[in-house]
Structure 1
Amino acid sequence: MTGGYGGGGDILNGCTISIDPGQIAVIVGPNGAGKSTAMKAVFGMLSLRKGAVRLAGRDITALTPQARVAQGMAFVPQTHNIFTSMTVEENLEMGAFLRRDDIADTMAQVYDLFPILRDKRRQPAGELSGGQRQQVAVGRALMTRPTVLMLDEPTAGVSPIVMDELFDRIIEVARTGISILMVEQNARQALEIADRGYVLVQGRNAFTDTGRALLNDPDVRRSFLGG
């Protein structure tokens, strides 16, 4: 993928990202490397000047983000990712706005994944802690029944304990067959759970390998993981 925003210069410079069903893929790299831009490009939030986006072999490059949701993509942005004045349950219901079938089973699955949300389902989402808000955001995305779930900095601003819990839940989601594509500043912890890792530098692939291999790569450790 090559592209940027509007008439500005290219932020992505030929980067390639792929993920198989049920895998966790993590994009890491220094600030300004194009990590979130790459994810937004996959979701159709900026136009590519070169390259393509394919979902299950089908070229979806021309589709709007809304159309990509209908095709099985879900995106959780880093901020402003819940309706703070709505209850937890209303937020989850909003995630199912494209569906015309019974959403009760999916709602139950989300509550099983995040039990605290069941306890707080009548509470305004804006009253929750940061970690609980992230659970609402992920839960709402899961209400679309996606095949690909994209998470932009899901652990930003949460405590290490909450971060570990969120990563555990992300692993559980992947085990259901959903592909997870994640941008994460906590690179070391994210690569520990990643089937595939991408290190971007200036919008290009600097390193691509399994999460474990990247953790053990001395060049990656020295340049991006603090030694």
Structure 2
Amino acid sequence: MSFLDASEMTGGYGAADILHGCTLKVEKGQIAVIVGPNGAGKSTAMKAVFGMLRLRGGRVTLDGEDITALSPQERVKKGMGFVPQVNNVFPTMSVEENLEMGAFIRADDFRDTMDQVYELFPILREKRHQNAGELSGGQRQQVAVGRALMTKPKLLMLDEPTAGVSPIVMDELFDRIIEVARTGISILMVEQNARQALEIADQGYVLVQGANKYTDTGAALMADPEVRRTFLGG
């Protein structure tokens, strides 16, 4: 069984299903990327894994434990960290206060983790007393990822982490994501910049209309002529 095993997920909002038997798996320390056209159900699949969407079918296990019935808060305690695409920082709080908010579930001393976040994102140490709302888009994304890391997650989920940032900032964020995975944390990421994301992915999922269209390693998907033509612009 994979470290994260979200199998045959079916569900949606109201009476309509958006996910139709979608399956996502991530091994320990792997980077798994979900790509696909707009409206494919990518973010919905991520929310289903995190418990923000009640499933009508399928199940989710983390590290061998069935967590299908758990709330998002309970999943955080089990080792999930989630960074939404928008509204992912407290704008009127300082960078350091944002990071401290990420440690709300911890009873131990979290200063070592905060130091690790500052080593990963040096600009945050420099701006730690500045309000998060005053930062650039890329810096706010670093705050959001850093806050999720403060929970000491086993699985970090990122919904469009490079949305609205420059290509240079995107490359830097991807480099940091690779560094996080090298520490043994599993990564599940939805990303519009499909080509760049698949380049760093151990595992890739192409979703179409809430179902798995292609599943393979990132390299294999990049090399697949049909995937390249249909989803990567040739």
Using structure 2 for the length normalisation, give the TM-score: 0.96
Residue number among 166, 171, 174 corresponding to 1:159 in the alignment:
166
Q: Distance in 2 between matches of 1:193 and 1:169?
A: 11
5 Å matches for 1:38-57?
38-57=45-64
Q: Which has the higher strand share?
A: 2
Q: Distance in 1 between matches of 2:210 and 2:15?
A: 14
* 1:143 lines up with 2:164 in the alignment: no
Shift of the alpha carbon at 1:98? 0.4
5 Å matches for 1:43-122?
43-122=50-129
* 1:2 lines up with 2:4 in the alignment: no
* 1:131 lines up with 2:138 in the alignment: yes
Q: Distance in 1 between matches of 2:26 and 2:45?
A: 14
Runs of 4+ in 1 over 3 A off after TM superposition: none
Q: AA paired with 1:218?
A: P
SS at match of 1:14: strand
Q: Distance in 2 between matches of 1:94 and 1:219?
A: 44
Q: Distance in 1 between matches of 2:43 and 2:158?
A: 9
Q: AA paired with 1:3?
A: G
Shift of the alpha carbon at 1:8? 2.7
Q: Distance in 1 between matches of 2:105 and 2:42?
A: 28
Unaligned residue ranges in structure 1 (runs of 5+): none
Q: AA paired with 2:214?
A: F
Matched with 2:176 is 169
Shift of the alpha carbon at 1:37? 0.3
* 1:215 lines up with 2:222 in the alignment: yes
Q: How many pairs are equivalent?
A: 226
SS at match of 2:90: coil
Q: Distance in 2 between matches of 1:25 and 1:37?
A: 16
Q: Distance in 2 between matches of 1:28 and 1:220?
A: 11
* Percent identity of equivalent pairs: 80
Using structure 1 for the length normalisation, give the TM-score: 0.99
Residue number among 196, 199, 204 corresponding to 1:192 in the alignment:
199
Residue number among 212, 216, 221 corresponding to 1:205 in the alignment:
212
Q: AA paired with 1:151?
A: L
Q: Distance in 1 between matches of 2:15 and 2:200?
A: 35
SS at match of 1:18: strand
Q: Distance in 1 between matches of 2:111 and 2:84?
A: 25
Q: Distance in 2 between matches of 1:40 and 1:28?
A: 15
Shift of the alpha carbon at 1:97? 0.2
Q: AA paired with 1:45?
A: M
Matched with 2:5 is none
Q: Distance in 1 between matches of 2:202 and 2:190?
A: 14
Deviations 1:61-98 (A, max 9, x none): 00000000000001000000000000000000000000
* 1:13 lines up with 2:20 in the alignment: yes
Unaligned residue ranges in structure 2 (runs of 5+): 1-8
Shift of the alpha carbon at 1:196? 0.1
SS at match of 1:16: strand
Deviations 1:113-165 (A, max 9, x none): 00000000000010000000000000000000000000000000000000000
